[in-house]
């Protein structure tokens, strides 16, 4: 669970999870990734007799990185320090529900632990403006990447998936997109979103746009190739337009005086711009193929300040 100052919400959520999950189903160790909180964690909030939760640890980061990068560091820390059957990734504010955790566990068991399971969001509870922009984002994401956006962070992963994810630079930008990019098997189950337990969301419009761009950036080479094809198609259409203008000017009587010159000039400018854009995207795709970037397994310790156990089952 990545969080920033949501300690009371996290404590209440863990209590609810402990009540919602049967002790016969599994035991849990909770990792709270402290993404640069201004308020210190009070371990007394977590000193309750749990039956399913066996341990709670906080992983404090040196600075605020955002929840996607906090998830990347948390998964890498787990891969390096723990052995378990599966890892549940969820928010700590209550919008990812204990009942949803139970559904993920059931779906994971039904697939015999062979696939990741993501919570599919059927509807959103935000205002009309947010939903309109979200639909626009989904449309652009589908156009640029060929993938429809239907999931968030809420998911369960087989532990061995971490061996692949922690060496993917894409994980540093967006967790769910990195799983999709990895081509590891996954499935989805519809799970409704809950409501925040306490406080207000810090996710504003700018942060949401940045989040969406981070997801698209994971497929940067695919986006580059699609835009390259679009640019070449645009330059081809501009070339055909120039030919059409010349044909109309020389072989018909429909041309208005001066029209052919202006039309040809505009189409030539458009064709040059399209060719320039296509060349730019070509170099972008080629450079991306050789750029390793941030590798979580290699670089995550740069941002870890301390790991502190705040609860342990006696």
pLDDT digits 0-9 by tens, 219-248: 777 777 787 788 888 888 888 888 888 888
Average pLDDT over residues 35-40: 90
User: Quick one: tokens of 174?
Assistant: 């967006």
Of 17 and 217, the one with more pLDDT: 17
Question: Burial of 67 by CB count in 10 Å (0-12 exposed, 13-18 middle, 19+ buried)?
Answer: buried
Q: If pLDDT is split at 50, 70 and 90, which confidence band does 122 have?
A: low
Smallest CA-to-CA distance from 169 within 266, 293, 53 is with 293
pLDDT at 272: 86
Residues 214 and 227 in one domain: no
With b meaning 16 or more CB within 10 Å and e meaning fewer, what string describes 268-306? Answer: eebbeebbebbeebeebbeeeeeeeebebbeebeebbee
Residues 55 and 195 in one domain: yes
Bridge partners, residue 61, by sequence: 304
| CATH value at residue 14 | 3.90.550
Residues 6+ apart with CB under 8 A from 93: 3, 6, 9, 13, 196, 197, 198, 199, 201
Residues 232 and 173 in one domain: no
pLDDT at 288: 64
Of 162 and 287, the one with more pLDDT: 162
| Alpha helices, H only, the chain | 7-20, 67-81, 98-110, 128-145, 162-165, 175-182, 205-217, 220-251, 259-290, 296-299
Residues 64 and 92 in one domain: yes
Residues 211 and 270 in one domain: no
Residues 193 and 258 in one domain: no
Q: Of the ranges 44-48, 135-139, 162-166, which one carries the lowest mean pLDDT score?
A: 135-139
Residues 194 and 49 in one domain: yes
Residues 94 and 137 in one domain: yes
The number of distinct structural domains making up the chain is: 2
Average pLDDT over residues 4-17: 92
Residues 240 and 101 in one domain: no
User: Quick one: tokens of 241?
Assistant: 């337009």
8 A C-beta contact, residue 31 and residue 71: no
Rg, the chain, Cα only: 25
Place of tokens 């035991």: 27
8 A C-beta contact, residue 79 and residue 162: yes
pLDDT at 43: 85
pLDDT at 102: 95
d(CA 35, CA 59) in angstroms, rounded, equals 8
Average pLDDT over residues 6-23: 92
CA-angle at 19, arms to 118 and 56, nearest 5°: 75
As a residue count, the chain comes to 314
Range of the domain at 191: 2-218+295-312
Residues 212 and 261 in one domain: no
- DSSP, collapsed to helix, strand or coil, labels residue 28 as strand
Residues 22 and 139 in one domain: yes
With b meaning 16 or more CB within 10 Å and e meaning fewer, what string describes 7-19? Answer: bebbbbbbbbbbe
Give me the phi and psi of 3, to 5 degrees please. -155, 160
8 A C-beta contact, residue 71 and residue 55: no
Residues 127 and 18 in one domain: yes
């Amino acid at each position: 669970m990545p969080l920033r100052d949501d300690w009371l919400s996290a404590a209440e959520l863990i209590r609810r999870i402990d009540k919602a999950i049967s002790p016969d189903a599994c035991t849990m160790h909770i990792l709270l990734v402290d993404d640069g909180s201004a308020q210190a964690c009070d371990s007394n909030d977590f000193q309750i007799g749990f039956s399913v939760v066996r341990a709670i640890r906080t992983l404090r980061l040196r600075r605020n990185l955002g929840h996607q990068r906090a998830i990347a560091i948390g998964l890498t820390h787990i891969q390096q320090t723990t052995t378990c059957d599966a890892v549940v990734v969820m928010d700590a504010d209550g919008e990812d529900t204990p009942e949803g955790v139970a559904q993920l566990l059931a779906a994971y068991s039904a697939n015999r632990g062979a696939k990741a399971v993501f919570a599919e969001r059927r509807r959103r509870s935000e205002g009309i403006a947010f939903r309109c922009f979200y639909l626009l984002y989904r449309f652009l994401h589908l156009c640029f990447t060929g993938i429809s956006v239907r999931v968030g962070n809420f998911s369960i992963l087989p532990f061995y998936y971490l061996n692949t994810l922690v060496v993917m630079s894409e994980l540093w930008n967006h967790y769910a997109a990195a799983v999709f990019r990895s081509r590891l098997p996954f499935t989805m189950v519809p799970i409704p979103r809950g409501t925040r337990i306490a406080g207000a969301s810090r996710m504003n419009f700018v942060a949401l746009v940045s989040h969406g761009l981070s997801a698209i950036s994971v497929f940067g080479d695919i986006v580059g190739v699609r835009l390259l094809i679009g640019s070449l198609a645009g330059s081809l259409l501009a070339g055909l337009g120039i030919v059409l203008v010349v044909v109309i000017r020389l072989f018909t009587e429909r041309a208005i005086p001066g029209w052919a010159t202006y039309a040809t000039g505009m189409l030539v400018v458009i064709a040059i711009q399209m060719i320039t854009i296509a060349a730019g995207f070509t170099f972008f795709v080629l450079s991306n193929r050789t750029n390793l970037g941030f590798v979580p397994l290699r670089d995550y310790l740069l941002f870890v300040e301390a790991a502190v156990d705040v609860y342990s089952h006696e």
